[in-house]
Amino acid sequence: METPPHTHRKIIHIDMDAFYASVEQRDNPELRGIPLVVGGSPEGRGGVVATASYEARKFGIRSAMPSKQALQLCPHATFVRPRFAAYKEVSQKIREIFSRYTDLIEPLSLDEAYLDVTNDKQNIGSAIDIAKQIKQAIKDELQLTASAGVSINKFVAKIASDINKPDGLTFIGPSAIEAFMEKLAVEKFHGVGKVTAEKMKKMGLHTGADLKQLPEDELVKHFGKAGHFYYRIVRGDDQREVQPDRETKSLAAEDTFPYDLTTVEEMEAELDKIAHTVCDRLQKYNLKGRTVTLKIKYSDFKQITRNRSYTSPFGDFETIISTARQLLTATNPEDKKIRLLGISISNFGELEPKQKTEKSTDQLKLFNL
């Protein structure tokens, strides 16, 4: 949808508060008010935190952290395994609430989405009022809380939603954006990871104001193509549209094993299980791909990927497993120690050619904990 010249978009970023943990605490009263970790078991080697309740976050527990480390930080934490079917059901109900106000909804995962309410269905007009109504509906109908960021573009709205969590609502208007970006610490810039943030700090770049001092060609020289984005965003310029139909680019499943795999027979047996999971997911989403990628992580944490592409799209188990086995054999797995295997399918085929648009990439967030 085109926005008329000289007018600003009205963008809302909704982010559910500790989503998986909040659903568990809502459905199980005995879990309320205690440090709760949703994720893999700390007893296994590969357990990872999917999310943690706010009570657990006080101890420094964060998502993607090894479960063993989480247990060390909070020995009395309660661990529960994820129930993704339940989370997906709740996510669909949240999406239904969004759709009362706009059809321009861009989900980023089960628990967050962008909404363009420039022209809202109910002619409310105020993005702040819409955000308030959405938050209240989620609270009343689902007994959960969400935080909202409201601004004129996606980047600022996303950062704003994180400012007053949980149950927050932050508006950053057009006149306040540039000053806000100047004060923002570089590690708070969405898309700037730890490594890039450290590199920036070594260069004396600690805030948006510091970044703003560098010419665009200097930013590109140090940070590649991302430099163009940093140059624009620190000035509050983000023209990306909310894309309601994001194209799925890959689908994957992987597993970290409780012990190192040392024989080809063990490796192929585990690949069979993973290939079945991938095949089931392809069928669930009615997808067929042209490329199989095998991911291997060894006991020394060295990681490699190998892939093979076909001219015609496929989604059957036999093609997936035979290709994965061939890719494994090509790595000479004898006498190797493997701690993780993964299979992903990409390069999805369409029955009819479909015009691709820029920035139409996404990856299904499918966990295998």
Q: Is the pLDDT of residue 1 over 50?
A: no
Q: What is the pTM of this model?
A: 0.69
Closest-CA residue to 78 (of 95, 61, 90) = 61
Check residue 248 and give its pLDDT: 64
How confident is the model at residue 107, as a pLDDT? Answer: 86
pLDDT tens, position by position, 231-241? 988 888 888 88
Over range 251-264, report the average pLDDT.
85
Mean pLDDT over each residue of the chain, to the nearest integer: 87
pLDDT value at residue 351: 32
Mean of the pLDDT values across residues 209-234?
A: 89
What would the mean pLDDT of 256-281 be, rounded to a whole number?
87
Whether the pLDDT of residue 367 is over 70: the answer is: no
- Identify whether 218 is a catalytic site residue: no
pLDDT band, residue 348 (cuts 50/70/90): confident
Phi and psi at residue 244, in whole multiples of 5°? -70, -20
Q: Is the dihedral of CA 6, 178, 148, 48 positive or negative?
A: positive
* Digit-coded pLDDT (tens) for 28-77: 999 999 999 998 888 866 678 889 999 999 999 988 788 899 999 999 99
Cβ within 8 Å of residue 346, ≥6 positions away: 249, 250, 251, 289, 290, 291, 293
Q: Which amino acid is at 258?
A: P
Per-residue pLDDT for 3 more than 50?
A: no
166 upstream amide cis, omega within 30 of 0? yes
Radius of gyration, CA atoms only, the chain? 22
- CA 105 – CA 157 distance, rounded (Å): 14
Write the pLDDT tens digit of every residue in 303-343.
999 999 988 889 888 899 999 999 999 999 988 899 999 99
pLDDT at 245: 67
Q: Which of 24, 112, 254, 268 is catalytic?
A: 112
pLDDT score recorded for residue 30: 97
pLDDT in tens, 122-174: 999 999 999 999 999 999 999 999 999 999 999 999 999 999 999 999 999 99
Within 10 angstroms of residue 316's Cβ, the number of other Cβ atoms is 12
Strands (E), 117-239: 146-151, 169-171
